[in-house]
Amino acid sequence: MSTDNAPETAPPTCYRHPGRETHVRCTRCDRYICPDCMRDASVGFQCVECVAEGNRGVRQPRTVGGARTVAAARPTVTYVLIAACVLVYLAELASPRVVLDYMMVGAGYLPGGELAGVAGGEWYRLFTSMFLHQRPAGGSFGLTHILFNMWALWAIGPALEQALGRWRFLALYLLAGLGGSVLLYVLAPTSAAVGASGAIFGLFAAFFVFSRKTGAPMGPIVFLLGLNLVITFAVPGISWEGHVGGLLTGGVLAAAYAYVPRGPRQQALHVAATAVVLMALVAAVLVKTAQLQPLLG
């Protein structure tokens, strides 16, 4: 009996690439998959869609600080902060007015008799001052001011950014800098200051907290922190309020990040802790401003 007219059965093809012949099936959905769509499984192969579906139910591992361990190794925020400070410093070199317009001062008179300060509504000085540094002829520190701060940021920033993740690291840096400005405003509103030192001291405190939490060697950070505290109180012209304010703010926020229990609510609790610290600093500014405004007339 002749079979010349019997229809030929088409070979199976990949469900994602219909033009590719294959005889391998996904062990989960049983669809045919080509070599480009195969993913190794405990038994056989799975397609890319089944692998993605399975990963949705797998909780990604996180660090003690709540950051995903698969986050990019490049410390992007650290580099951006360094670049921002350097660019602002170049602007200072081009125009001394940059320092006068954006340095931290609570309530005082600029050269020429101009009243300026946070109490007069220039609240932005609380933030902008942490990106300014002394100009080469601006005091006893000059160029070493920005060099030390940027070295410290480069030295400990990447490790902290990896432990905290980008948004927590940035929040801690900015709130520590803000905490230094706020303490200066509360205790010495007529004083002026510039520098990222408050934020850097906040990073020192965070490094100490996470070293203690993880059992890492604490000798280097204790020595560095102690040395800088001695310099803070021993050398004239340094705003100890800015340094201590940054240290306390960074320490409190880092403790919240490090010691909040892990679990599905960890991220929400970190956001809440950040908001609470910010609100406390804002409240301190509002109270001090209410005290100063009647005196300013």
Instruction: Determine whether 95 is an active site residue.
Output: no
Considering the domain architecture, whether residues 21 and 87 belong to the same structural domain is answered as: no
pLDDT of residue 72: 47
pLDDT of residue 184: 96
How many alpha carbons lie under 13 Å from residue 140 in its C-beta half-sphere? 4
Considering the domain architecture, whether residues 97 and 232 belong to the same structural domain is answered as: yes
Instruction: Determine whether 197 is an active site residue.
Output: yes
Is there a domain that residue 172 lies in?
yes
pLDDT tens digits for range 73-104? 679 999 999 999 999 999 999 998 899 899 99
Measure the CA–CA gap between 230 and 227, rounded to whole angstroms: 5
Residue 66 backbone zone (phi > 0: left; psi -120 to 50: alpha; other: beta): left
Q: Which of 197, 211, 239, 270 is catalytic?
A: 197
| pLDDT tops 90 at residue 3 | no
CATH number of the domain enclosing 183: 1.20.1540.10
Rounded to the nearest angstrom, the gap between the alpha carbon of residue 189 and the centroid of all alpha carbons in its chain is 28
Is there a domain that residue 117 lies in?
yes
Considering the domain architecture, whether residues 99 and 195 belong to the same structural domain is answered as: yes
Considering the domain architecture, whether residues 90 and 45 belong to the same structural domain is answered as: no
Is there a domain that residue 297 lies in?
no
Q: How many folded domains does the chain comprise?
A: 2
Considering the domain architecture, whether residues 224 and 120 belong to the same structural domain is answered as: yes
Considering the domain architecture, whether residues 112 and 34 belong to the same structural domain is answered as: no
Considering the domain architecture, whether residues 135 and 279 belong to the same structural domain is answered as: yes
Considering the domain architecture, whether residues 23 and 121 belong to the same structural domain is answered as: no
Rounded to the nearest angstrom, the gap between the alpha carbon of residue 97 and the centroid of all alpha carbons in its chain is 29
Is there a domain that residue 1 lies in?
no
Is there a domain that residue 135 lies in?
yes
What average pLDDT does the segment 220-231 reach? 91
- Sign of the dihedral through C-alpha 292, 118, 195, 242: positive
pLDDT tens digits for range 20-29? 888 888 888 8
Considering the domain architecture, whether residues 122 and 16 belong to the same structural domain is answered as: no
**Which residue in the block uniquely carries the two structure tokens 């361990």?**
69
What average pLDDT does the segment 38-59 reach? 74
**Which residue in the block uniquely carries the two structure tokens 């080509």?**
34
Measure the CA–CA gap between 225 and 240, rounded to whole angstroms: 13
CB neighbours (10 Å) of residue 288? 19
Is there a domain that residue 209 lies in?
yes
**Enclosing domain of residue 252:** 76-290
Confidence of residue 70 (pLDDT cuts 50, 70, 90): very low
Q: Do the bridges between strand 39-40 and strand 45-46 make them parallel or antiparallel, or are there none, so unpaired?
A: antiparallel
Q: Greater confidence, 66 or 124? A: 124
Considering the domain architecture, whether residues 249 and 119 belong to the same structural domain is answered as: yes
Q: pTM score, two decimals? A: 0.76
CB neighbours (10 Å) of residue 118? 23
Is there a domain that residue 58 lies in?
no
Which of 11-15, 67-71, 163-167, 226-230 has the weakest average pLDDT? 67-71
Confidence of residue 294 (pLDDT cuts 50, 70, 90): confident
Considering the domain architecture, whether residues 160 and 242 belong to the same structural domain is answered as: yes
CB 33 within 8 A of CB 27: no
Is there a domain that residue 4 lies in?
no
Q: Which residues neighbour 86 within 8 Å (Cβ) at sequence distance 6 or greater?
A: 146, 150
Q: Greater confidence, 57 or 46? A: 46
Considering the domain architecture, whether residues 167 and 25 belong to the same structural domain is answered as: no
| pLDDT tops 60 at residue 138 | no
**Joined tokens for residue 147:** 């060099």
Measure the CA–CA gap between 178 and 128, rounded to whole angstroms: 9
